[in-house]
Structure 1
Amino acid sequence: MTRRILWAIVGVTCFAVVALAVPLGVVIDREFEGQALLRLERAAILAERDVPVGWRPGDPLVLGTPLRGTSFGVYDLGARLVSGTGPAQGDDAVRDALDDWVGERETSSSYVIAVPIAEGGSVVAVLRAEQALAVTDRRIRFAWASMAVLAAVIVGASIVLGRRLARRIAVPIESLHDRVSQLGADAPLVALPRSGMAELDDLATALEDASRRVTESVVRERQFSGEVSHQLRTPLTGLRLVLDAERAAPRPDRLAVLDEATASLDRLEQTVDQLLALGRRRPVDRNRLDMADVLGGVRRRWLPAFAERARTLDVDVDAASRVSAVVSLAAIDNVLDVVIDNALKHGAGRVRVTAAAIAGGVAVRVADEGSIELDATGLSDALDERDGDAGRSGSTRIGLRFARRLLRAEGGELVCTSRAPMEISVILPEV
C-alpha cells in the first residue's frame, strides 16, 4: 500500500509539473523572442543617434559598439550597403524603413531591425541592426534548464514527502486491517490505534462499535441456542406427562387430554416467542397480572412432575390473590419454571411457592428443604453456588442464568434469600 500511495503522489506531481511546464515554456520562448527584438530595436535607435547631422551616404561614419552578436549596417536610398555589416542589397526590413517605418523581420538565423535615418523630415538613409538567433536561444535554453532543475527538485521533494505521507496513511490502515480480521471473534476488538487523522480515527471508532455489536450478536445467538434447548424441555416434558398419563389411564372425556395438550403447546409457543424476544431484544407485551392466576398455572403444570417423583408441591394460591404485578406472562412463567425445576431436581423435601407484596414490588418465593453447604461470601453468591453445584451437566447453570437475564429485562431480579433451607426469590416491580 505504501508503494501505491507513493506512486500516486509522484504521478500526480509529475502530471502537474508537465501541465504547468509546457505552456510556461511556450510563454518563456515567446517572451524571450519579444525581449530580443526590443533590445535590438533599442540598440538600433541608439546607434541611429550616433549619425551626425548633415551626414550623407559616402561620408565617413563611426557607430557605437553593438551588443554581443549584433551587427550594424547603413543603407542609402537605393537600399545599397554603404557602411557597416549586412547584405549588399537591403532586404524587406530596409525597404520598410525607407518608407519611414521601423522594419522588423526574423530570418532562419537572425532577428533584423531597420530604422530610418531622417533629416529635415525626410529619410536620407537606413540603419539596419541584425542579431543572431543563437544569442536568444542560449537564454531560452538556460531558462528551460532552470525550469527542469526546479521540476526535478519538486519531484524529488514529492518523493520524500510522499514516502512520509504514505507511511503515515498506510501504517494505521494496515494496523486496522490486521485488527479488523478479528471481527466476529468471541472477544470484542481491543481499542484500535489512533493515527491523528480524523477520517481514519472515525473509521477506527466505527469499526470498534461494529465489532462490539457483532460480538454481542454472536454471544446472544450462542446463549439463545443453549437457552432454547434448556427452556423447551419443560413444556415438552409437561406434554409428554399428559400423553403418558392418558395412555396409562385413559379418561372418558377425550377432550380433556386434548385441552391439556393444547395448553402445553400454547405454553411451548409462548416460550419460543419469549426466547426470540430476549435474544433479539424485541419489546414484549406487559400487563398487570393477578399472581393467584400465575401461581395457579404453576400448580397445574408442575403437580404431575412432582407426583411422578413422589415429591410435594405446595402452591399458596389464596394468599397470592391479593398481589399483582406488571410483567409479561410468558416471562414470569419461564422464570418460575426454571426455579421450580431447579428445586425439583436439585432440592429436597417439600417445595413451597408463595407470593407476597414487598416494598416497591412483589416477591415470589420458591423454597425447599435442601441447603447449600459451600463456603459462600454472601447470600447473593448462593444462587451462583446452587447454579454451579446443580449445573455439573450445564443445564441448570444455563437455566438460572437465563431466568436472571429474563427477570432483569422485566425490571426484576432473581436472588437467593436463604441457604438453609434453600429459598430463591423472584422479585418483580410493582409498576
Structure 2
Amino acid sequence: MRQRVVRVALVAASVALVLLAVPLAAVIRASFFADERGEVERAAMAAAVRVSPDFAAGDPVELPRRSEGQLGVYDRGLRLRDGTGPSSADSATRRAVAGRLVRQDIGGELVAAVPVSDNERVIGVVRASTSTGSVWNRVLLAWAALLGACLVALGVAVFVARRQAFTLTAPLESLSHTSRAIAEGDLTARAATCGITEIDQVARSHNTMVQRLSHLLQHERHFTANASHQLRTPLTGLQLGLETALATPGTDLRTAAEEALEQSRHLQHTIDEVLQLAGAEPSPVSRAAARPAGELLEQAERRWHGPLAQDGRRIAFLLDPATAAVPVPGRTTDQILDILLDNARRHGSGTITVTLREIGAALALDVADEGTLTLDAEALFDRGTTTGPGEGIGLSLAADLAEAAGARLSLTRRTPTRFTLLLPHTD
C-alpha cells in the first residue's frame, strides 16, 4: 500500500507540473520574442531620429552602436548608405518606403524597418534586425530553469509522498501486527490510535470486536470449570444417598426416592444457573425465580447436615421469623449458599453458622465459621485464588452469580471468617 500511495501522489504531482509548466513555457517563449521585437523596434526608431533632412543630399549618418544584430540606413533607391545590413533591401525595407513601420520575421531574423520622412516625403529607411537564434538561446535557458524547478518540485513531492505514505500505512501495519498477535492467541493485544479519524475508527471497531470475542471466549472457558465445580457436590450427594439406601436393609425406598428427586431438582437448578451465567449477557433475575428465604435455608440445612456431620462439624441456621417469608432470588441464592458452605467446609473450621437478617431494603445472609482467613481480601474473589487443594473457582463464581442477580458478596470479617451476601427484595 505504501508504494501505491507514493505512485498516486507522484502521478498527481506530475500531472499538476505538466499542466503548469507547458503553458508557462509557451508564455516564456512568447514573452522573450515580444521583448526582442520591441528592442529591435526601439533601436530602429532611435536610429531614425539621428537621420537629418540633409540625408537625401548625401549627408552622412552617425548610427548608435548595437551589441548584437544589424542596424543600417537605406536611401530611397533602397541602397545601404550606412551601418550594417543586406546590400540590397529586403521585403520589410521595401514596404517601409511606403511610409509605415514594418515588423517582420525574415530568414531567421527579427526585422523592424522605420521610414525617415522630411516634409511628408520619405527620404530613407532605417532597418534594425537581430537573429532569432540568440532569442532561442535565452528561451532554452529559461526552459531549462523551468525544468529544473519542476524536477526540484517533483523531488519535494516524492519526499512528501513517502512521508505521507509512511504516516498513513504505519497505523495500518500496526493494526495488522495486532491482528496477527490476536490470531496467535494474545487476546490482550489492542490497536493503538494514531490521530487519523478514519483509521482510529477502524482501530476502535477492531478493539471492540476483540473485547467482545474475549468476553465470549472467557465465558466459554469458565463454563466447563463452573459446571464441574457446581455439579460435583450435588452429584456426589445424590450418588451417596442412593447407594446408602440400597446398602441399608429396611430403608424406606419411597423416602430415598423423594430425597433423590429433591437432589435432582437442585441439580437442575444448578445447571440452569450455570447456563445463565455462561451467557454473554446474563439476564436479570425474574419474579418467577423468587422464593421465601426460610424455605431456601431449610433445604440447605437438609443438604448439608449429613456431609458436615460426617466431618464431625455442626451447622446452625439463625433467622428472624419475620424474614423467613421474604422472597429472594431462589436459584441464585441457593447456588451462592452452597458455594459458601462448601468453602467453609473445605477451608474453615468449627461450627458453621448461617444467619439471615434484614438491613433496610435488603436482606443480609451471613455464612461464618471459626477459622481465620489469611488471603488478601482484594484477591479473594479472583479466579484461581485458593488456600487449599481446590482450583479457586468457588468464590469467583459466587461473586459472578451475585452480580448477575443484582446482589453483592463480600468478606465482612477475617477472624472468625464471615462472608455476607446482600440480597435485594424481589417483591
TM-score (norm 1): 0.71
Do the aligned residues in 2 keep the contact of 1:230 with 1:398 (CA within 8 Å)? yes
2:386 aligned with 1:388, yes or no? yes
2:408 aligned with 1:412, yes or no? yes
Do the aligned residues in 2 keep the contact of 1:354 with 1:366 (CA within 8 Å)? yes
Partner of 2:420: 425
Correspondences of 1:264-279 after superposition (within 5 Å) = 264=266, 267-268=269-270, 270-277=272-279
What's the secondary structure of 1:339's corresponding residue? helix
Deviations 1:166-202 (A, max 9, x none): 777777776676566545866745996x98x666995
Q: Distance in 2 between matches of 1:299 and 1:268?
A: 17
Q: Distance in 2 between matches of 1:97 and 1:302?
A: 134
Partner of 1:105: 104
Q: Distance in 2 between matches of 1:91 and 1:241?
A: 134
CA separation of 1:123 and 1:245: change in aligned 2, threshold 3 A: farther
What's the secondary structure of 2:127's corresponding residue? strand
Deviations 1:20-76 (A, max 9, x none): 3332222111110111111111111111111112432x7244242343332124445
2:361 aligned with 1:366, yes or no? no
2:326 aligned with 1:324, yes or no? yes
Correspondences of 1:142-161 after superposition (within 5 Å) = 142-155=141-154
Deviations 1:80-117 (A, max 9, x none): 65554444554443344234432222235211112222
Deviation for aligned residue 1:136: 0.9
CA separation of 1:172 and 1:300: change in aligned 2, threshold 3 A: closer
CA separation of 1:342 and 1:77: change in aligned 2, threshold 3 A: same
Correspondences of 1:10-409 after superposition (within 5 Å) = 16-56=16-56, 59-77=58-76, 81=80, 83-155=82-154, 182-183=181-182, 188=188, 206=204, 210=208, 218-233=217-232, 251=254, 263-264=265-266, 267-268=269-270, 270-277=272-279, 280-285=280-285, 287=287, 293-297=292-296, 299-300=298-299, 303=302, 306-307=305-306, 319=321, 321-322=323-324, 324=326, 328-343=329-344, 353-358=354-359, 361-367=362-368, 371-372=370-371, 376=374, 388-390=386-388, 392-394=389-391, 397-409=392-404
What's the secondary structure of 1:101's corresponding residue? coil
- In structure 1, stretches of 5+ residues that fail to align are none
Q: Which amino acid aligns with 2:411?
A: V
What's the secondary structure of 1:303's corresponding residue? helix
Deviation for aligned residue 1:350: 6.8
CA separation of 1:85 and 1:367: change in aligned 2, threshold 3 A: closer
Do the aligned residues in 2 keep the contact of 1:239 with 1:264 (CA within 8 Å)? no
Do the aligned residues in 1 keep the contact of 2:320 with 2:356 (CA within 8 Å)? no
Deviations 1:320-377 (A, max 9, x none): 645637x644432331232234345666787554411135632113356xx4366x38
Do the aligned residues in 1 keep the contact of 2:104 with 2:111 (CA within 8 Å)? yes
What's the secondary structure of 2:53's corresponding residue? coil
Q: Distance in 1 between matches of 2:240 and 2:115?
A: 132
Q: Distance in 1 between matches of 2:273 and 2:50?
A: 119
Q: Distance in 1 between matches of 2:290 and 2:277?
A: 23
CA separation of 1:151 and 1:250: change in aligned 2, threshold 3 A: same
What's the secondary structure of 1:388's corresponding residue? coil
Q: Distance in 2 between matches of 1:123 and 1:136?
A: 32
State the Cα RMSD in Å: 5.0
Deviations 1:138-182 (A, max 9, x none): 221222233344445445556677777777777777667656654
Q: Which amino acid aligns with 2:22?
A: V
Q: Distance in 2 between matches of 1:328 and 1:178?
A: 47
State the aligned residue count.
415
Deviation for aligned residue 1:121: 2.9
Do the aligned residues in 2 keep the contact of 1:113 with 1:129 (CA within 8 Å)? yes
Q: Which amino acid aligns with 2:269?
A: R
Q: Distance in 2 between matches of 1:307 and 1:148?
A: 100
Q: Which amino acid aligns with 1:319?
A: P
Answer with 110-119 or 1-10: which moved more.
1-10
TM-score (norm 2): 0.72
What's the secondary structure of 1:427's corresponding residue? strand
> Percent identity of the aligned residues?
27
Do the aligned residues in 2 keep the contact of 1:189 with 1:212 (CA within 8 Å)? no
Q: Distance in 1 between matches of 2:110 and 2:376?
A: 109
CA separation of 1:43 and 1:23: change in aligned 2, threshold 3 A: same
Q: Distance in 1 between matches of 2:36 and 2:381?
A: 102
Q: Distance in 1 between matches of 2:107 and 2:301?
A: 117
Do the aligned residues in 1 keep the contact of 2:79 with 2:89 (CA within 8 Å)? yes
Q: Distance in 1 between matches of 2:424 and 2:332?
A: 13
Do the aligned residues in 2 keep the contact of 1:6 with 1:163 (CA within 8 Å)? yes
Q: Distance in 2 between matches of 1:126 and 1:351?
A: 135
